[in-house]
Structure 1
Amino acid sequence: MKTFLRIIAALIVLGLIVLLAIIFVPVQRTKPTEDLAADWTPDKGAPLYAARMGDCAACHTSEGGKPFAGGKAIESPMGAIYASNITPDKKTGIGNWTLADFRAALVDGVDDEGRHLYPAMPYENYRHLSEKDIRALYDYFMNDVKPVENEVQQTSLSFPFNQRWGIRAWNWAALDDPGFHPSDAVSGDVQLARGAYLVQGPGHCAACHSPRTAIMSEDGKTASSDSFLSGGEIAGWSAPDLRDAGTPAQMWSADQLKAYLTTGRNAHSAVTGEMALAVEHSLQYMTDEDADAMVAYLHKIRLGQASEGSKTEIPAEDPTKLPNRVERVDSAKDDTTAMLVAGKDLSPGARLYMDNCAACHFSDGKGSPGVFPSLGGNSLVTADQTTGLIDVILNGAALPSTASRPEAFKMPGFAHRLSDEDVAQIASFLRGAWGNDAGSVDASAVTDLRQ
């Protein structure tokens, strides 16, 4: 008995020592892999391009606010986290930060005074940035961004999440080594290595598209883990699986995936939610070489048909062979289309679809290539989390305007004309139509989101 009590006492003492160490031991900053602080001249356009690839504006620019002045609420399971002011304003921004301070925020998740940043700041991913890109980012924010005095609302989470010293333990468990370390499967291929870097580092794709562990860290940061990019959730919206062989991202041709990433639309689908912001502020600015590299890498790491180390061939798709509306309806063989065309024995959801949606998405649910997305096999429609689908029906959605596709088509919201039960009926119909096989939606889910 005495031995057992001694063990318990020893464990308690050890736990207190660890706790005190976490609280009082100074925060450690990782060292750069190379010295770029002195006599550094960026390549032409590199600072702006680095900022765009890092998609900094999507979080640090609030709706209607000045660029990078912060204040946007980032929803998390713990509560709202407010994005900071990252303009070079010396009072409320980062104007007094050194390059070392800036690097520590990106790589180690600590600010200029050594305080831990909440991991809503994707330093899990940014710690894989190259030192050159970190230096380019610092150059951009200090020299090219206009300083804006804007005191951002302080993040105030409930206990214990308001105890930032606990993030030190989280970092110890969640973070891997800094720097980009391409796998053997891609390191010998310049294009694939570049694609891996863009996806894992500045693009921080895993922040949304990888699932989360029990401690809310990313479950899979590289393709060595099957969980990497296998689907995640952000603010109740599902971020789709990008790797399974049966998912749209893997079934689309390289040209169609590239169009989706750089313009927000292709012949099959269109972006919504946070992905629309990613296209608007970041992905549309990729060079052709980088876009091709990202697409090649995403197709390379396809699961269920090819391993990361094997050759993956995805046939090109000829958009000129996509059938037009009349041919599609006349040759339609699926039960949903036949029912809608006949206009008989319609369920309440089908009738509401014909009244509100069919003018754009048509009776076959395929919409118009590059304009109105297809609804059959649409990941937003069939997602386990129905928040995104309900939100789009209630509030509408707008495609981002890009250089190559400037037209910003907008779907209207129907919150003003449809009841919660109506919205649930339409959503349930969509989730079971044209080969979709997802569960129904209850009106209470619509009520909760509307409120």
Structure 2
Amino acid sequence: MWKSKRKILEYSCLLFAVLLSPLANAASPAQPSPDDQQRILSGKYISTAADCVACHTAKGGAPYAGGYPIESPMGVIWSTNITPSKQYGIGSYTKEEFARAVREGVAKDGHHLYPAMPYTSYGQMTDQDISALYDYFMTQVKPVDVAPTQQTKLPFPFSVRTSMAGWNAIYSNAKPFVSNPQDSELINRGNYLVNALAHCAECHTPRTLLMGEDKSNPFAGAALGAWFAPNISSHKAAGIGGWADAELYAYLRTGHVAGKAQAAGPMAEAVEHSLQYLTDGDLNAIVAYLKQTKPLAVGDQQARYTFGQAASTETAMRGNAVLNVDPGWKVYSATCAACHGTKGEGTKSYPSLFNNTTTGAFTPDNLIATILYGVHRKIDGKDDIEMPGFGPQASYTERLSDQQIADVSNYVLTSFGNPQQKVTPKQIEVARQGGPESPLVAAARIGVPAAVIVLVLIVLAILVSRRRRSNNKAM
């Protein structure tokens, strides 16, 4: 009898499962089609090429959850949560609202984003790429239901986000990229990568008084806080025209070219989070495009990597009394020589200090910033270069004073790099504070002129808006 009841129970369960199977199938999410899967993969690649994760991920935080501090001349701008969280992220955005935020810098609720989010470049993204990026974020990124701990609070007048409408009227042009039929497919692809996705001009193009890109000098180099983004036009001395294609490719892929250059600061972040993951075809397209840009003789008069040679100071000084000797050499001998060599020749892990774009530049900004903040770059998920900084984050015993950093900088420049450059302790102090103050911020401290700037921008935004409406009606 027990076996009979058990049999009936098994048949009942089987029947129950059969009857429920259509409901179960209906409740389970539909698997994406091959086309959808390909679009989602494309969206992931686009997010990598656009380097979204670098700015929207705090150190040690969840991917895309925001909370990363972006230093700007106006103050710290904290990145937002762009996971598909409906409460704290972009989970409630429609595709159209997402496109407007990415291309025009306007959030779902209508408030203006600051151009630390490079929508002035992303405005050129194609509809297809915007759609793929949206699908990737909404289906593949894990929602993080936590608000970033820090909120952006810029001082007046930069806190008036409405003024961004006027700024956008001058500097933003959200028109999707259109290929130039006179250029090859490779050049067009490079153009799109450089100017839209990778947004290279955001760092490497000088800024106007109102902090917009100076379109008359594209890629001519620009100050970037304590760092300096060099000229990357095709000029042979001032830019990258003297680089071999293979060298440029290697630099984009690894951030390092022996006897020439190594990426640090913001460029190291771009290599670590974005450029090293691009396809060979896309990296070659970037190289091809940069090599055919207009050559601009701005900045260096001699190619940065051609300066310097090995020095014999260490050998000459060894065994002698060290009184009344170059104080910069003392710092170098005690702090730098173990890694960079007594002659500045470098090692397998650390670069030579001669034939080096950092020591041969027309400005010592990157040399100073490297000593202060170090170099941190991961390639293939492992530490490729980890030079410690000797600035405020260093331990007390390793920290160098402004005078010591100025001394060792001058020793390095004189011995291995561009001897025409001289560094003062004041320059180190400014670099510690994040770099020189922009003219716009200086004007804002006066008060009234800053308010006038805001008023002009708002009025300009209204006039441009009215003109556009009039044009639409006329059409």
Q: TM-score, normalised by structure 2?
A: 0.73
| Matched residue SS, 2:36 | coil
* TM-superposition CA deviations, 1:88-116 (whole Å, max 9, x none): 00100000000001100111110111211
Shift of 1:341: 4.2
Closer/same/farther in 2, CA of residues 385 and 151 from structure 1, 3 Å limit: farther
In 2, Cα distance between equivalents of 1:146 and 1:179: 29
Q: Which amino acid aligns with 1:198?
A: L
Shift of 1:124: 0.6
Matched, 1:100 2:74: no
- Say which of 48, 54, 58 aligns to 2:44: 48
| Matched residue SS, 1:201 | helix
Q: Which has the larger share of helix?
A: 2
Q: Which amino acid aligns with 1:261?
A: L
Long gaps (5+) in structure 2 = 1-33, 298-306, 319-323, 392-396, 434-475
Matched, 1:359 2:355: no
Partner residue, 1:285: 277
Whether contact under 8 Å (2:362, 2:418) holds in the other structure is no
Partner residue, 1:446: 428
Q: Which amino acid aligns with 1:270?
A: Q
| Matched residue SS, 2:241 | helix
In 2, Cα distance between equivalents of 1:237 and 1:422: 19
Shift of 1:296: 1.2
Closer/same/farther in 2, CA of residues 411 and 137 from structure 1, 3 Å limit: same
Identical aligned residues as a percent? 40
In 2, Cα distance between equivalents of 1:133 and 1:65: 27
Whether contact under 8 Å (1:377, 1:436) holds in the other structure is no
Closer/same/farther in 2, CA of residues 446 and 250 from structure 1, 3 Å limit: same
| Matched residue SS, 2:295 | coil
Whether contact under 8 Å (2:205, 2:221) holds in the other structure is yes
Partner residue, 1:25: none
| More divergent stretch after superposition (78-87 vs 394-403) | 394-403
In 2, Cα distance between equivalents of 1:299 and 1:365: 31
| Matched residue SS, 1:65 | coil
| Matched residue SS, 1:66 | coil
Q: Which amino acid aligns with 2:377?
A: L
Matched, 1:141 2:137: yes
Matched, 1:118 2:109: no
Over the residues paired in the alignment, what is the CA RMSD in angstroms? 2.6
In 2, Cα distance between equivalents of 1:116 and 1:172: 13
| Matched residue SS, 1:400 | strand
Shift of 1:394: 3.4
Whether contact under 8 Å (2:104, 2:174) holds in the other structure is no
Matched, 1:219 2:223: no
Whether contact under 8 Å (2:276, 2:379) holds in the other structure is no
Partner residue, 1:160: 157
- Say which of 204, 223, 242 aligns to 1:233: 223
Shift of 1:387: 5.1
In 1, Cα distance between equivalents of 2:68 and 2:308: 45
Closer/same/farther in 2, CA of residues 249 and 366 from structure 1, 3 Å limit: farther
Q: Which amino acid aligns with 2:221?
A: G
In 2, Cα distance between equivalents of 1:359 and 1:110: 51
Closer/same/farther in 2, CA of residues 335 and 210 from structure 1, 3 Å limit: closer
In 1, Cα distance between equivalents of 2:238 and 2:345: 17
Partner residue, 2:448: none
Matched, 1:175 2:189: no
Closer/same/farther in 2, CA of residues 366 and 176 from structure 1, 3 Å limit: farther
Q: Which amino acid aligns with 1:398?
A: H
Whether contact under 8 Å (1:237, 1:385) holds in the other structure is no
Partner residue, 1:57: 53
Using CA pairs below 8 Å that are at least 6 residues apart, which structure has the higher relative contact order?
2
| More divergent stretch after superposition (155-164 vs 80-89) | 155-164
Long gaps (5+) in structure 1 = 1-38, 306-332
In 2, Cα distance between equivalents of 1:113 and 1:446: 42
In 2, Cα distance between equivalents of 1:273 and 1:335: 25
In 2, Cα distance between equivalents of 1:295 and 1:68: 29
Closer/same/farther in 2, CA of residues 447 and 231 from structure 1, 3 Å limit: closer
Closer/same/farther in 2, CA of residues 248 and 411 from structure 1, 3 Å limit: farther
Q: Which amino acid aligns with 1:359?
A: A
In 2, Cα distance between equivalents of 1:201 and 1:85: 22
Partner residue, 1:431: 413
- Say which of 369, 389, 396 aligns to 2:367: 389
